[in-house]
DNA sequence: AATTCGGGGGT
DNA sequence: ACCCCAGAATT
């Protein structure tokens, strides 16, 4: 069978399967490019069920790019709270501003123009262009990568640049003349629902008889994965510092880890250092104030993408000095009941929940 | 080419 | 525990 003939069969099988099996997802009920853009940003490295409630809330609050452009970043981050990869929210906001200033509030309609906006890379540009505007352009996400590695029995590491290019070329060659949006989504849908990382449901797969991995019974070893190194661990200490019934929180700098989010001040415990002396040191270095360290109110274990932390939270009293934002973007004394108005990292929310429960007793 | 960026659900 | 998710930006 020629490649072209095989591609045609794959196209038909996928489009037919998709027409009958596509999940009813909120962003599939709209043709609004803004809404589709928003969904694609939220779905970056994020599972569909996780993104859905965020998408609904966000779209209700900001129904157009112009509304989004006018919003404060703090408001956007609060809506993004818990979704992770917070630079997405910052880039979304910046892109909305550019869409208003450069494009009269309307999203660019081509892949190449979309690529110029912050937060939109190769995948997302292809997704918006094909799904919202019908441009005949491919996309490769984690799902498509896995499907293609199996169907075409590609043994190389898909993280390798040459393999990546091969996958994009395949995705392009596979594109049908029409219905590219549905076709691209069908590839992702298959990867998500049938051609799963483990225990793929080959017995239900519309491509089973076209799949080389299936023929060679290699669906369980493809795509080849690389061994990951163990994550480093850190011990962190933070202070819930009270003064006149209010708690001192700081806003992290705009870029980097958890950029723009609020947190309880503190920092890493150094080797050989006690928790209490580390907390005194960090508060002195970052805020230039003196505190009294009280009892430990929480220990939170949390895993980020590339390290673990064990966070010890201590109740503290402010003793002297007006806090200065030496290592952060801003400082604020807030009533405990106002903590939920601010966007906090997930690890800090566990501490906030403990404070809330204590308050009710 | 590698690393940095969150958080959670499935296994 | 480990894997990976509709990846992009930075180094």
- DSSP secondary structure letters along A210-262: G-HHHHTT-TTT-S--PPPPPPPEEEEEEEEEEETTEEEEEEPPSSSTTTT-E
3-class DSSP state for residue A344? coil
In this structure, CATH architecture of domain A3-215: Orthogonal Bundle (1.10)
Can you give the distance from the CA of residue A138 to the C1' of nucleotide C8 in angstroms? 17
- A139 Cβ partners below 8 Å, 6+ apart? A122, A123, A126, A127, A130, A171, A184, A188
pLDDT for residue A226: 86
Burial of A279 (0-12, 13-18, 19+ CB in 10 A): buried
Q: Taking the domain A233-359, which CATH number applies?
A: 3.90.79.10
Q: What is the pLDDT of residue A352?
A: 97
What is d(CA A285, CA A360) in angstroms, rounded to the nearest whole number?
34
Model pLDDT, residue A360:
79
Work out the burial of residue A359: count CB atoms within 10 Å of its CB; fewer than 13 is exposed, 13-18 middle, 19 or more buried. exposed
C-beta separation of A79 from A87 below 8 A: no
Decide if A3-215 and A233-359 have a common fold. Answer: no
Q: A29 CA to C7 C1', in Å? A: 24
State residue A192's pLDDT score. Answer: 98
Residue of A40, A145, A286, A315 marked catalytic: A40
Structural domain spans, chain A: 3-215, 233-359
pLDDT in tens, chain A (361 residues): 899 999 999 999 999 999 999 999 999 999 999 999 999 999 999 999 999 999 999 999 999 999 999 999 999 999 999 999 999 999 999 999 999 999 999 999 999 999 999 999 999 999 999 999 999 999 999 999 999 999 999 999 999 999 999 999 999 999 999 999 999 999 999 999 999 999 999 999 999 999 999 999 999 999 998 888 889 999 999 999 999 999 999 999 999 999 999 999 999 999 999 999 999 999 999 999 999 999 999 999 999 999 999 999 999 999 999 999 999 999 999 999 999 999 999 999 999 999 999 987 7
Cα separation, A105 vs A224, in Å, equals 43
Q: How far apart are CA A100 and CA A166, in angstroms?
A: 36
Distance B3 C1' – A305 CA (angstroms)? 11
Distance separating alpha carbons of residues A107 and A98, to the nearest angstrom: 10
pLDDT of residue A17: 98
Counted residue by residue, chain A has a size of: 361
**Chain A residues 183-212, Cβ below 7 A from strand B:** 196, 198-199
Q: Alpha-carbon distance A5 to A107, whole Å?
A: 36
Question: Where is A125: in which H helix or E strand?
Answer: helix A122-133
Residue nearest to nucleotide B9 (CA to C1'): A47
Q: Please tell me the predicted confidence (pLDDT) of residue A2.
A: 92
Per-residue pLDDT at A229? 83
Closest CA to A327 of A277, A293, A275, A283: A283
Query: Could you give the count of Cα atoms lying within 13 Å of A310 in the half-sphere of its Cβ?
Result: 7
**Known active-site residue A40:** yes
Please, are residues A177 and A136 in contact by the beta-carbon 8 Å criterion? Answer: yes
Check whether residue A109 has its CB closer than 7 Å to nucleic acid strand B.
no
Supply the angle between the helices A161-174 and A180-193 in degrees, to the nearest 10.
130
- Confirm whether any atom of chain B, the nucleic acid strand, is less than 7 Å from CB of A105: no
With distances taken from each CA to the C1' atom of nucleotide B5, the closest residue turns out to be A85
Q: Cis peptide leading into A223, omega within 30 of 0?
A: yes
- Evaluate whether A279 touches A266 at the Cβ level (below 8 Å): yes
Per residue, the 3-state secondary structure of A289-313, as one string, reads CEEEEEEEEEEEEEECCCCEEEEEE
Q: How far is CA A25 from CA A48, A275, A314, A342, in A?
A: 9, 47, 43, 29
Output the CA angle A48-A52-A57, nearest 5 degrees: 155
Distance A256 CA to C11 C1' (A): 13
């Amino acid at each position: 069978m020629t490649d072209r003939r095989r591609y045609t069969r794959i196209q038909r099988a996928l489009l037919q399967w998709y027409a009958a099996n596509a999940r009813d997802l909120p962003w599939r009920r709209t043709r609004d490019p803004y809404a589709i853009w928003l969904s694609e940003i939220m779905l970056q490295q994020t599972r569909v069920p996780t993104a859905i409630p965020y998408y609904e809330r966000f779209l209700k609050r900001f129904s157009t790019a112009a509304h989004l452009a006018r919003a404060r970043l703090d408001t956007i981050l609060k809506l993004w709270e818990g979704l992770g990869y917070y630079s997405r929210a910052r880039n979304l906001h910046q892109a909305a501003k550019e869409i208003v200033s450069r494009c009269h509030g309307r999203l660019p309609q081509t892949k190449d123009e979309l690529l110029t906006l912050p937060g939109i890379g190769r995948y997302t540009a292809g997704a918006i262009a094909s799904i919202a505007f019908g441009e005949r352009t491919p996309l490769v996400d984690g799902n498509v990568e896995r499907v293609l590695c199996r169907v075409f029995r590609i043994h190389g590491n898909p993280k390798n640049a040459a393999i990546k290019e091969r996958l994009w070329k395949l995705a392009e060659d596979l594109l049908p003349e029409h219905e590219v949006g549905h076709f691209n989504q069908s590839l992702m849908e298959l990867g998500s629902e049938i051609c799963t990382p483990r225990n793929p449901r080959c017995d239900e797969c519309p491509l089973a008889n076209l799949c080389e991995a299936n023929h060679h019974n290699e669906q369980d070893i493809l795509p080849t994965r690389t061994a990951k190194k163990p994550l480093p661990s850190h011990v962190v200490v933070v202070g819930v510092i009270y003064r006149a019934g209010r708690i001192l929180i700081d806003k992290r700098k705009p870029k980097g880890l958890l950029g723009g989010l609020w947190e309880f001040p503190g920092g890493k415990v150094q080797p050989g250092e006690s928790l209490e002396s580390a907390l005194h040191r960090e508060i002195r270095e970052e805020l230039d104030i003196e505190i009294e360290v009280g009892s430990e109110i929480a220990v939170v274990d949390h895993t980020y993408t590339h390290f673990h932390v064990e966070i010890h939270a201590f109740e503290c009293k402010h003793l002297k000095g007006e806090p200065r934002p030496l290592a952060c973007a801003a400082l604020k004394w807030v009533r405990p009941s106002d903590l939920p108005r601010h966007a906090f990292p997930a690890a800090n929310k566990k501490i906030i929940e403990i404070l809330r429960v204590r308050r009710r007793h």
